[in-house]
Amino acid sequence: GRAFNEMAAGSRWLTKNNKKFCSVRTRIDHDAPIHSTNLPQPQLPIFRFLPKTTTTMTMIMMHARGGRLAKLNASISNNLNPTRWQIHRDKNVAGGIVNDISALRFSTSPDYLNYETWHRSNYEDAVRPSSKHPSDHAVVNGSRNDSNVIPWRSSATANSHYDGRALLELPRTSVLMELSDRVGALHDVLKYYWKYDVNITRIESRPVQNNSTKFDFFVDFHGKVGDPNVNALLNTLKGMTDKLLVLDEKEVHWFPRHISELDLIANRTLDAGTDLQADHPGFKDAEYRKRRAHLAQVALQYRIGQDIPLTEYSAAEVETWGVVWDKMEYLLEKYACKEYKKSMNLMKKHCDYNRNEIPQLSSISSFLQLQTNFRLRPVAGLISSRDFLNGLAFRTFFCTQYIRHPSMPLYTPEPDICHELLGHVPMFADRDFCDFSQEIGLASLGASEEDVLKLARCYWHSVEFGLCREDGKNKAYGAGLLSSFGELEYACKERGPDEVPSIGEDGTPTCPEIKPWDPAVAAAQDFPITTYQPVYFLAESLQDAKVKMRKYCEDLPRPFFALYNAQTESVHIDRPVRRCVGVPESS
């Protein structure tokens, strides 16, 4: 939140050099690693400046007089503990000098910095690390140090470790400020947020309609009307703005804020885990239904934080598992992506993956938490797309424990433990895949029904049935393919130039269409659930799939931006909302 105190430092330079903003927008950024248990966790919003010529709407843009352009990136990571800016030499943009600035945390701010003429030698002595700031001896950015960096101290105060759990339910206020378009206008109001110790979480600007001389600024901050510091701030701003309005909270679909709240949605199953359809192979098997009921009850009683109970599988269940294992082993070696095969070797080594016993969710979940900070959470049956995707936001995979009926070991009308453990779980040992899955989950929090449907389609065409290119061949990373011997070969086998996408007389696809991975296209692509897929989406790599999915999620008209804090297992959102639609009964 205190990242916005740095805007005072940045805007001082703009004011001094007679420059002004043309647009402002902030968002929570996911550029740094957010998933590892042994890496620093970015926990505060990021704001950016970009040239006026940019079309990116999720960043702050500034325009300088005389045609000069400057690009400034500012980021905050409260628990990294550095206390300076980083200035990077960059390339020219549209003929103007461009400098990148990454803001971390600061102590004092010099006014002499000139971005158009700076040279490294001019400032090394001025900003050399002192004993007062021992953390200035290194600049940490993910996993590497940047040697071409000039530190610049700024005015933010050092804060204690950010506790996402403690701030979950802090009251927030949204205001609309109308300001005249003049040099220093933003600086004049931002300094009062700092003065009254008001913590900004989001700021966004847009021109006033039909008035090119004014801008509206939407600002969210911690606190509520009635708090002494908030009242003092609002009273001050009334005399400095052309218009000041306190806005109502935005109403959104209920979503979990802490991982413990997943317990409120995990049991909202679309079936009870035992309500089998008449065409289910186990519909008339009383013993099978009894077994399903028992496993469903175990899942219904489970709570986040508990050890997942061990399951004693019968000889018939283990035999069914073995049949599926034997059928898939050769095909997985031939058609699975390299990330899957690498992870499967780890599962065999650390989680007792083999044909003669069904692995336990407890040992798998413990291993995944150490590997990628993902975990498994048992559920009784199918849950809604919204609830399922919400779980992914917390790096949690809702997992069934029942197995398909032994009379048809190579067929299941629903996800079962063979699908979960052979299809999904190995991929959750891969960091890029976990990040990709979490991107979809974070975008689903508080999303509209329309956007949840789009995200569910993206999930289906990637996490369930996604392909990636590897050594000139199509390989599978989607769980629906990795657990289906027939469709895996159907989707991945090489075809001649004469084979074109086609549908048989019975409506079953005989040759699929392969499209390049584009989340916007996938979000509009319907899919069947009882036949092979007529369309598959092919990514260049898992990294490519993740980057494109992240961009798509950022462009969705989301009610807020969310950032997962792995240390507190909670999500930080950048604006006040009221979770009032679809509230779980037990909440």
- Residues 221 and 198 sit within 8 Å (Cβ to Cβ): yes
Do 241 and 140 fall within a single domain?
A: no
User: CA 234, CA 256: separation in Å to the nearest integer?
Assistant: 31
Binding residues: 419, 424, 464
Q: Are residues 268 and 133 in the same domain?
A: no
Nearest residue to 398 (alpha-carbon basis) of 415, 418, 412: 415
Six-digit token string for 332: 């997985």
Q: Is residue 560 domain-resident?
A: no
Q: Is residue 123 part of a domain?
A: yes
Q: Could you give phi then psi for residue 174, rounded to 5 degrees?
A: -115, 135
Would you say 156 and 105 are in contact if contact means Cβ atoms under 8 Å apart? yes
Q: Which residues lie below 8 Å from residue 22, measured CB to CB, with a gap of 6+?
A: 52, 61, 62, 63
Same domain for 200 and 107 = no
Domain finish residue from 165, 192, 210: 165
CATH number of the structural domain spanning residue 237: 3.30.70.260
Task: Write the single-letter amino acid at 392.
Answer: L
> Pick from 149, 165, 181: which residue ends a domain?
165
447 and 465 share a domain?
A: yes
Same domain for 276 and 370, yes or no, is yes
Same domain for 269 and 283 = yes
Q: Which of 306, 424, 274 is nearest to 359 (CA)?
A: 424
Q: Please indicate, yes or no, whether residues 179 and 149 belong to a single structural domain of this protein.
A: no
Report the distance separating Cα 464 and Cα 441, nearest Å: 14
Contacts of 287 (CB under 8 A, 6+ apart): none
In a domain, 568, yes or no: no
Residue indicated by tokens 């390339």? 91
Binding residues for Fe cation: 419, 424, 464
Establish if 199 belongs to a structural domain. Answer: yes
Residue 508: count other Cβ atoms within 10 Å of its Cβ.
12
Continuous segment of H or E residues that includes residue 514: strand 513-516
Residue 271 and residue 224 share a domain: no
Q: What are phi and psi of 311, to 5 degrees?
A: -115, 125
pLDDT at 18: 62
* Residue finishing a domain among 165, 200, 215: 165
The position carrying tokens 């289910």 is 280
CATH (domain of 372):
1.10.800.10
Asked if the structure places residue 564 within a domain, the reply is no
Q: Please give the single-letter amino acid code of residue 54.
A: T
Count structural domains, the chain.
3
Whether 57 is in a domain gets the answer yes
Residues 225 and 337 in one domain: no
| Residue numbers annotated as active site | 419, 424, 464, 483
- The Cα–Cα gap between 74 and 6 comes to 8
Q: Is residue 566 part of a domain?
A: no
Question: How open is the CA angle 146-147-152, to the nearest 5 degrees?
Answer: 80
Amino acid (one-letter) located at 463: V
Domain that holds residue 232: 169-247
Looking at the structure, tell me whether residues 350 and 449 fall in a common domain: yes
Other CB atoms within a 10 A radius of the CB of residue 498 amount to 5
Q: Spell out the residues 6+ positions from residue 15 whose beta carbon is closer than 8 angstroms to its own.
A: 183, 184, 187
Length of the chain equals 587
Distance (Å) of CA 323 to CA 167, 351, 360, 409: 50, 19, 18, 7
Q: Is residue 214 in some structural domain?
A: yes
Asked whether residue 509 falls in the same domain as residue 464, the answer is: yes
Same domain, 129 and 224: no
pLDDT tens for the 587 residues of the chain, in order: 445 555 555 555 566 666 655 555 555 444 333 332 332 333 323 333 323 222 222 223 333 222 222 333 333 333 333 233 333 333 333 333 323 332 222 222 333 233 333 233 333 333 333 333 333 322 222 233 333 322 222 222 223 323 444 445 678 888 989 998 888 888 888 899 989 999 888 888 888 888 888 888 989 888 888 899 999 999 999 999 999 988 888 889 999 999 999 999 999 987 655 577 777 887 888 899 999 999 999 999 999 999 999 999 999 999 999 999 999 999 999 999 999 999 999 999 999 999 999 999 999 999 999 999 999 999 999 999 999 999 999 999 999 999 999 898 888 888 999 999 999 999 999 999 999 999 999 999 999 999 999 999 999 999 999 999 999 999 999 999 999 999 999 999 888 776 777 777 766 777 899 999 999 999 999 999 888 999 999 999 999 999 999 999 989 988 888 889 888 899 988 778 888 888 887 65
